[in-house]
Chain A
């Protein structure tokens, strides 16, 4: 029976992953913004087999609330076996280009608040000398593109942070996984036209569960994104800047 903390629990990918763990009788502490959504998910996980599902409501942008949420999670669960960091927002690129205030808020939400939670969880797990931290990044962080560089920059920052954290915590028996989903059909992407590259949250969730079990460092999900991003990263900049991506 695993003790699992999820930050941003009502995100579609987090929810799908939690449902896999619920079948394994996991105990959950679910952190998010919206009480109604968290309660709905907690009930669902209990019916699906979870041994426990408690919730913590936070305003992500209010950094002062983070410590309290993590403390409550630890009171509820005791040791943390897995922490999944899944909160975030798909930045409206056009709006960011016009509004620096919005751009900074989005970067704070997608990067700084994640750093805050990761720092708190890292202390806890390094004291435990055990655990796994899984962070949802994005393929958008692999190379800045004109269509989503606010979002991409935050996820790129998160990738560098996670790398450093992994190196530090590897000495403490704590595993750090960075997850890079490609296109996933979720409420966050409801406005997009879906094609053959799109995956379901359930597919992505299976990959995440597997990658944690196998202690992978980086997970591209679905797998073919590793190849797509390898190509995209190797396009020479003089050519890349002329592309529409």
Chain B
């Protein structure tokens, strides 16, 4: 059957198997051909596409929850929403969360996802204590910073290419309330928003929505959203809203005019320069989870998400250069998100590095592919790289420049029986064995 990532582009013809227990997982590994494990399919491109896809649906058991210490051990197929429902009532929260709770914890480890607190708390893998990993040989290893450390660091951010992540032990973050005190700040241009990230270093969470169609003096106008965990209110679970995009929308609905109008309205809506409010964690972290199948907004052919990071030193110049090109190409993006990153960690293929990251959505069409082809060399030229969990188009050359530790990664895969066993459409495209 045809499968694709969240961007619905590209598609791959795959055989799907949902192993029911460890024996079934081991048996599935004996299959010939390239194998990749897949959780909720929320990586955007082809990271979880392969000819044989092993789905983690039945890896949905909790193993242990130490409520005193805030250490959760659970199988890899549980989603972050499910985990939050279990831990919030006990006063704990995810130490790092991406912008959707509909990702599995295994996927969060494999993509070494980041959140709005990266500048303070690092990436997801930085809070993982150990991982139970099924190797290509059928052996199960528990890997951590002290046991098989190189395999641990290759697996966090390793896109499922080192083995099957069976379970994860995670150190949680203590909270007193499930609400977030949010401060929004209206910012006029790029220079100011980058400055604002620096000024607000001490803020636990920070992220900015950016109008990528604004030009000239307004280039980079944005709304910065800061957040702190509330301390007074209760520990309450929230359900995502139940709106849905029922069918694929005509892809012409999203065009330069509609997006530019939306952006102008969104910017104008924030009337005051600074606004404070208390919102539920669901509204602050997962606003799009309330709109099911929002990926259908881009129509049948799908979309690509383009997320890159630039080092701090070249941040302003590089970001300006790239934003100008996007704006001049008239390629709008509903969701343009800017964030300041803290230092990179020691995982081989982890995305974040100290600097600024920008994430954009583009309709999957020829003009997008052409634009991205011109942007990729700029990004690596400025010393940056692309996020593997979002990527659908990157060339081998771009990847190898952006992720110079790829050879070390391959040696570890070779040592632990992953070569010739675990591969995805993406890993093939990027020139990994």
Contact = CB atoms under 8 A, between A and B. Distances in A.
Contacts of A48: 62, 86
Q: How large is the interface on A (under 10, 10 to 19, 20 to 34, 35 or more residues)?
A: 10 to 19
B21 A44 contact: no
B86 A47 contact: yes
B58 A41 contact: no
Nearest to A187: B20
A40 B61 contact: yes
Contacts of A40: 21, 61
A37 B65 CA distance: 19
B63 interface: yes
A190 interface: yes
Contacts of B21: 36-37, 40
A187 B58 contact: yes
A203 interface: no
Nearest to A186: B20
B64 interface: yes
A163 to B, nearest CB: 33
A147 interface: no
A67 to B, nearest CB: 29
B18 interface: yes
B18 A47 contact: no
Q: Which among B20, B61, B63, B86 has the greatest number of chain A C-beta atoms within 10 A?
A: B61
A43 interface: yes
B63 A43 contact: yes
Determine chain B's interface SS by DSSP, over half rule: mixed
A44 B18 contact: no
Nearest to B65: A47
A190 B62 contact: no
A44 B61 contact: yes
A190 B15 CA distance: 13
Given A48-B86, A187-B20, A190-B18, A43 B61 contact: yes
Contact of B62 (A36, A37, A44, A187): A44
A47 B64 contact: yes
A69 to B, nearest CB: 22
Contacts of B22: 36
Contacts of B62: 43-44, 46-48
A47 B86 CA distance: 8
B187 to A, nearest CB: 43
Nearest to A42: B61
A36 B23 CA distance: 11
A41 B61 contact: yes
Contacts of A44: 61-63
A47 B20 contact: no
A43 B20 contact: no
B294 to A, nearest CB: 22
Contacts of B65: 47
Nearest to B23: A36
Contacts of B61: 40-41, 43-44
9 contacts: A36-B21, A40-B61, A43-B64, A44-B62, A46-B62, A47-B62, A47-B65, A47-B86, A187-B58
Given A44-B62, A48-B62, 11 more contacts: A36-B22, A40-B61, A43-B63, A44-B61, A46-B62, A47-B63, A47-B65, A47-B74, A48-B86, A187-B20, A190-B18
Interface of B: 18, 20-22, 58, 61-65, 74, 86
Interface of A: 36-37, 40-41, 43-44, 46-48, 187, 190
